[in-house]
Chain A
Amino acid sequence: MDQIGYNRLHSVFETLFSFLFKYPRLVFEQGDFVFGATRSMSLAAIVIALAAAYAIWTYRQLVLVRGRDRATLLAIRTALFGLVVFGLLQPMLLLKVAIPQQNFVGVLLDDSRSMQVADVDGGPRSGFVLDRFGRTDSPILTELGKRFTLRVYRFSSSAERLQSTSDLTFAGTGTRLGDAVDRARDELTGLPVAGLVVVSDGADNAGDSIDESLAALRAQAIPVFTVGVGEERLSRDVQVTRVNLPRRVLKGTALVIDVVVTQTGYAGRTVPLVVEDAGRVVSEQEITLPPDGESETVRVRFKASEKGPRVFRFRIPAQAGEEVPQNNQRDLLTEVYDGRQKILYLEGEPRPEAKFVRLATADDENIQVVLLQRTAEATVRVPDKFLRLGVDSGEELINGFPTTREELYEYRAIILGTIEAGAFTPDQQRMLEDFVDVRGGTLLALGGRRSFSEGGWGGTPLSNALPVTLDRGVRPPFDPPLEVVVRPTPAGASHPATQIADTEANNAAKWRDLPPLTILNGLGAVKPGANVLLTGIDERGREQVVLAHQRYGRGKAMVLTPQDTWLWRMHAKMALEDTTHFTFWQRLTRWMVDDVPERVMASTSPDTVERGDPFTINAEVLDKEYKGINDGRITARVTQPSGRVEEIPLDWTVEQDGEYRGRFTPTEDGVHTIAIGGTSRDGGDVGRGTVSIRVAPSEAEYFDAAMRAPLLRRIAEETKGRFLRANETDQLADAISYSGSGITVVEERELWDMPILLIVLLGLMGSEWLYRRAKGLA
């Protein structure tokens, strides 16, 4: 049944109820049921009850009437006497009724953009508000005005008294229900308040909980009567519901973004989903819209090729007859950062894997793989011999693997090749764990004859970080190695790191085509928090972990178990033009450096604001060992779209080491760039971090624009008010009057003369007569 049908049925039901029970349902809900009979009436009732008992007894003496007939007639007769006794006892409802003109009522009218949606009898929601609450001579306001002193407010992002109907523009870019009722409650403090009326579609987008506002209303016993305007489900609408775009992304990254699309009225239709970077189309694909009311997650692929703060627009063209075309697009800001991200690749022997990883990533301008490759092992007299490739200077890694955290933390990620744990000092082993846990870097452990348990890594600090368990003690590698066919798991099929083709279908096909690899290591169980992206099927059909990862502290740790991913490049089956191996390693290394924190990390909350709304600038400032710097002189340089720069000092929060905070109120629309910098207490430079924020009119009003009855109903129920639909507003005055709030008087409403009682009485008598005739008992 659609909304209109439901409303009609509901209206018929209410009318019928009022006719049969003399009063509307509301009166029964608010009143207390009592019997008001005097002593003499009670006596009469007892006499009748005794007479009834006698009659029943006489029935039992009748010989002619037996079995089911006797039972039926007894039941009818008992019910008849019962009804009479019920009427004689003078049933009534006691109601606390607000005394006319002695109470105040606040009427809050939603003035936000979403009220322009045309889903109330073909007209806009705003039309309903203006018609029912915008005219002083409207039946509702007239009725309310007779009983209460009215205070009318308009609200959207803020609330204020309504001076004139012309103040209602329905252009507010936000809806803050909590703030609105707080404002009205504050203004009416000290006055006898019978209730608040909120006329809205319930599209609250304040982002804060409304709980505090409701608690305050409950404390002051102010009921809220919510009037829901609009349909609970739009009949024709396509909406880009959510886009999972990261806040920061490395330049050149091939993004795989999930876009959630919802719709009603266009099921099965094929529409284009377009992604634009500052007006330039970077992706376009056809999608089939899901069934009505359901969501579809669409995977969109494009490259972040321009550095700086970029606003990406995800849009579906407006469809014919759409009620809310404004929610067909979303604009999202992401910071595309540039620069070479250094990855330290420590390889324990001159094996081809390292060479091919370097070849695969050589063309990536943003990835720098620094190779420290052991070419000979230490003897009693000489230390390990290393080959260094890709270093920035002759000094870099000159003494082999770093011995200080400061040196190690210069890298954003580590690839650990086949090298035994014994090649590291105990402190270096702890540094590997801290690199992930404290520094927030990524560590990728590769398979090999001296990796994992085969390299004695079981029980070391690093084994805590890895996503798989390792046996203690050194075990020999598989001989011969396990040959495995690699396949993505369900999680891996959609993970950005394991996308080796341009579309989902091509990706699945490409994985099926790759030649097998070999594994030397026997791993333990996958840890509970880990995620397996690639799995290998060996010749006996057993599954082996190929690529798994888990969060560990601030960073992530990963394992890639084959010893020879280079076969995906070299194998005779792989065409020379096939760049799968390059793509795999470029995606993997980019994922490794993605999200790895800098020494200065900045963020804003929220991440999008409107002009005039203050936002918070958060900064985390760390030293070279990634410990928080407290008491620093930290400032945020806010560059506004016009080029104007403002310096905002940030204060240490004290709550957490290295955490600073400040606030800024934008006065311009557009992207604001915020650069964080400063000095530590001893005057040392702390480094620099940047973040951007987009200041623009909010489009939130157009998203999930259907009337949100659950929220409005909750507000009403928690404050002991009442939720009314648009077609029930004629009950509003009574609902407030009988709510028991404000200055009230108790009224009695007699029920003995309810039509339903007479109808039932006559019905019972008629039934008895008909039954007797039918059975020949008359």
Chain B
Amino acid sequence: MTTKRIRAAVVLGVVAVATVAAATISAQRGGGFRQRFAPQNFAPPVRYDGKFVFVRMSYPYVGRGMPPWSHDYPTGETHFMRILSTITNVWSHVEESSILSFSDPEMFKFPLVYLCEPGYWELTETEVKALRSYLLKGGFMVVDDFPSWAWGQFDFTMSRVFPGLQWIELDETHPIFHTFFEINPFNVIPPYAQLGGKPKFMALFEDNDPTKRMYAIANYQNDISEFWEFSETGWQPVDLTNEAYKIGVNEFVYGLTH
């Protein structure tokens, strides 16, 4: 092989890798794989039968491309549910998941919901009341996949739901990190740099009292589900992916039991 050919191969390889990487990142930002995330491909919600269902919350989005709340869908939840149902004995729908809006009363039949990319999240007054009622009654919300810039909009929306509550930063000693696996969540390095600063785990508690019931947890400046989605590709290190799964398992088991 000549030097030219070697250079060409290297360039091709770099381009190929760059293309895959760009496509992957683009997918996360909503700019690619439109066919894969086309609205008509969203599966209908699972009918309630008592089993646990991964419920992804949707919200109106008028921008181009795939709606941000759908990032990682459906691979992220499918991979995660396979892990959750294998590691724990949560009786669940593994290959099926639901997408519900905050105005859908069916939400109340599923006591744990998942929300991602909350930087674009807005709620109507009816939805504000519905989410408040949902969380106060006993529901639990896991929020994931948002960079530092998204916090302002997210915090504003949640402050409409709970005007008196403040987000409280958790440290690694909180029981949520020891409910199933004994983990230190800060060992997980975010999958990409655009998320902002150091990851934080923020939570809303009843009466702003960390000893009382937690309503929601936000994986701020992090994207745990990114690890889930690409866990079969080798894009992220296995040990980090494992830790990301552990965080998810702990948060979901905690939400189902506390």
User: Are B133 and A576 interface neighbours, CB within 8 A?
Assistant: yes
Q: Is B179 a contact of A351 with CB atoms below 8 Å?
A: no
**B88 interfacial by beta-carbon distance below 8 Å:** yes
Nearest first, the 8 closest Cβ-Cβ pairs linking A and B are: A572-B105, A572-B108, A576-B133, A350-B256, A352-B111, A349-B89, A563-B50, A570-B108
Partner of B257, one of A348, A389, A574: A389
> Can you list 16 contacts pairing A with B, beta carbon distance less than 8 Å?
A349-B89, A350-B89, A352-B256, A356-B111, A480-B47, A518-B48, A564-B50, A566-B111, A566-B138, A569-B138, A570-B138, A571-B109, A572-B107, A572-B130, A576-B133, A576-B137
Interface residues of A (CB under 8 A from B): 348-352, 354-356, 359, 371, 373-377, 385, 387, 389, 449, 479-481, 518, 520, 563-564, 566-567, 569-574, 576
Q: Is the CB of B257 within 8 A of A571?
A: no
User: Which interface residue of A348, A349, A374, A481 has the most chain B CB atoms within 10 A?
Assistant: A349
Known contacts A387-B179, A571-B109, A576-B136, A520 near B257 by CB under 8 Å: no
Q: Does B30 sit within 8 A of A, measured CB to CB?
A: no
Checking B88, B105, B132, B134 against A350 with a beta-carbon cut-off of 8 angstroms, the contacting residue is B88
In the complex, A715 Cα to B257 Cα: how many Å? 69
Q: Report the Cα distance A647→B222, complex, angstroms.
A: 71
A351 contacts which chain B residues (CB < 8 A)? 50, 52, 90-91, 256
- CB neighbours of A374 from chain B (8 A): 89
CB proximity of B88 to chain A, nearest CB, Å = 5
When distances are taken between beta carbons in the complex, the residues of chain A under 8 Å from B107 are: 572
Residues of B within 8 A of A350 (CB): 88-90, 253, 256-257
Query: B138 to A356, Cβ gap below 8 A?
Result: yes
Chain B residue with Cβ nearest A573: B105
A375–B181 CA distance with the chains assembled, in angstroms: 11
Contact of B87 with A by CB under 8 A: yes
A521 to B108, CA, bound (A): 24
Nearest CB of chain B from residue A687's CB, rounded to whole Å: 33
Q: How far is the CB of B247 from chain A (nearest CB, A)?
A: 16
Which chain A residue shows the least CB distance to B48? A518
Say whether B109 contacts A567, CB under 8 Å.
yes
> How many whole Å from B9's CB to the nearest CB in chain A?
47
Q: Which residues in B have some Cβ–Cβ distance to A below 8 Å? A: 47-50, 52, 87-91, 105-109, 111, 130, 132-134, 136-139, 179-180, 213, 253, 256-258
B91 near A376: Cβ-Cβ < 8 Å: no
Q: A352-B256, A387-B257 are in contact. Are A359 and B87 (CB under 8 A)?
A: no
User: In the assembly, what is the distance between CA of A376 and CA of B138, in Å?
Assistant: 23
* Whole-angstrom distance between the Cβ of B78 and the nearest chain A Cβ: 20
Task: Please give the distance in Å from B85's CB to the nearest CB on chain A.
Answer: 11
Give A573 to B108 CA distance when docked, in angstroms. Answer: 9
* Residues on the B chain within 8 Å of A570, using CB: 108-109, 111, 134, 137-139
Instruction: Note all chain B residues with C-beta closer than 8 A to A355.
Output: 111, 138, 256-258
Complex contact B138–A359 (CB within 8 A)? yes
Could you say which residues of chain B place their CB within 8 Å of the CB of A385? 180
Query: Which residues on the B side are within 8 Å of A576 (C-beta)?
Result: 132-133, 136-137
- Given the known interface contacts A570-B138, A571-B108, the answer about A354 and B50 at a Cβ–Cβ threshold of 8 Å is no
Please determine whether B111 and A449 come into contact, CB atoms closer than 8 angstroms: no
Q: Give A373's nearest chain B residue, CB to CB.
A: B257
Contact call B90/A349, Cβ cutoff below 8 A: yes
Residue of B nearest to A449 (CB): B91
Measured CA separation A213–B99 after assembly (Å): 83
- Which one of B49, B105, B106 has the highest number of Cβ atoms from chain A below 10 Å of its Cβ? B49
Contact partners of B106 in chain A: CB under 8 A: 572
A387 to chain B, nearest CB (A): 6
| Bound CA–CA A480/B257 (angstroms) | 24
**In the assembled complex, which residues on chain B have CB atoms less than 8 Å from the CB atom of A387?**
179-180, 253, 257
Q: A355-B256, A569-B137 are in contact. Are A375 and B105 (CB under 8 A)?
A: no
Contacts A359-B138, A479-B49, A570-B139 known; 14 new A-B pairs at CB < 8 A = A349-B91, A350-B90, A352-B111, A359-B213, A375-B89, A376-B88, A376-B180, A377-B89, A387-B179, A387-B253, A520-B50, A570-B109, A571-B108, A576-B137
- Bound: A764/B257 CA distance, A: 102
**B206 → chain A, closest Cβ, in Å?**
11
Chain A: which residue is nearest B179 at the CB level? A387
Closest B residue by C-beta to A572: B105
**Residue ID in chain B nearest A447 by CB atoms:** B50
Complex alpha-carbon distance, A518 and B91, angstroms: 15
Among the interface residues B47, B48, B137, B253, which one has the most CB atoms of the partner chain A within 10 A? B137
For residue A541, give the distance in angstroms from its CB to the closest CB of chain B.
Answer: 21
Residues of A within 8 A of B108 (CB): 570-572
A367 to chain B, nearest CB (A): 17
Neighbouring B residues of A572 by C-beta, 8 Å: 105-108, 130
Contact call A375/B138, Cβ cutoff below 8 A = no
Give chain B residues whose Cβ lies under 8 Å from the Cβ of A354: 257
B136 (CB) vs chain A CBs: closest residue = A576
Q: How far is the CA of A667 from the CA of B232 in the complex (A)?
A: 86
Residue numbers in A under 8 Å from B88 (CB-CB):
349-350, 375-376
Say yes or no: B89 contacts A518, CB within 8 Å.
Answer: no
CB of B47 to closest CB in A, whole Å:
7
List A contacts of B133 (CB < 8 A): 576
* Least CB distance, A476 to chain B, in whole angstroms: 13
Instruction: Specify which of A348, A359, A376 lies most central, judged by the most chain B CB atoms within 10 Å of its CB.
Output: A376
A574 to B40, CA, bound (A): 33
User: Would B180 and A375 count as touching, CB distance under 8 A?
Assistant: yes
Closest chain B residue to A480 by CB distance? B49
Complex CA distance for A374 and B253, rounded to whole angstroms = 11
Instruction: Name B130's closest neighbour in chain A (CB-CB).
Output: A572
How far apart sit A349 and B256, CA to CA, in the bound complex (Å)?
10
CB distance from A584 to the nearest CB of B (A): 14
Residue from B49, B87, B111, B256 in contact with A481 in the complex, judged by beta carbons closer than 8 Å = B49
List of A residues within 8 angstroms of B132 by Cβ: 576
Q: Give the one of B50, B52, B107, B258 with max A CB within 10 A.
A: B50
Instruction: Name the distance in Å between A666's Cβ and chain B's nearest Cβ.
Output: 50
Instruction: Choose among B108, B136, B257 the residue with the greatest number of A CB atoms under 10 Å from its CB.
Output: B257
Residues of B within 8 A of A373 (CB): 257
**Shortest beta-carbon distance, B162 to chain A, in Å?**
13
Q: A349-B90, A570-B139, A572-B108 are in contact. Are A518 and B49 (CB under 8 A)?
A: yes
CB-nearest residue of chain B to A578:
B137
Distance of A566 Cα from B89 Cα, bound (Å): 20
Nearest residue, chain A, Cβ from B52: A351
With A and B bound together, what is the CA distance between A216 and B49 in angstroms?
73
Whole-angstrom distance between the Cβ of A749 and the nearest chain B Cβ: 91
CA distance A374 to B90 in the complex (A): 10
CA A295 to CA B49, docked complex, whole Å: 49
Chain A residues with Cβ below 8 Å from B52 are: 351
Determine which of B49, B89, B105, B139 lies in contact with A376 in the assembled complex, contact meaning CB atoms within 8 Å: B89
Note all chain B residues with C-beta closer than 8 A to A371: 257
- Expressed in whole angstroms, the minimum distance between the Cβ of B62 and any Cβ of chain A is 27
Give chain B residues whose Cβ lies under 8 Å from the Cβ of A567: 109
A481 touching B50, Cβ below 8 Å? yes
Chain B residue at smallest Cβ distance from A575: B133
Give min CB distance, B164 to chain A, whole Å: 16
* Interface core residue of B106, B133, B138, B139 (most chain A CB under 10 Å): B138
Alpha-carbon distance between A377 and B179 when the two chains are bound, in angstroms: 15
CB distance from B124 to the nearest CB of A (A): 16
CB distance from B223 to the nearest CB of A (A): 25
Contacts of A481 in B (CB 8 A): 49-50
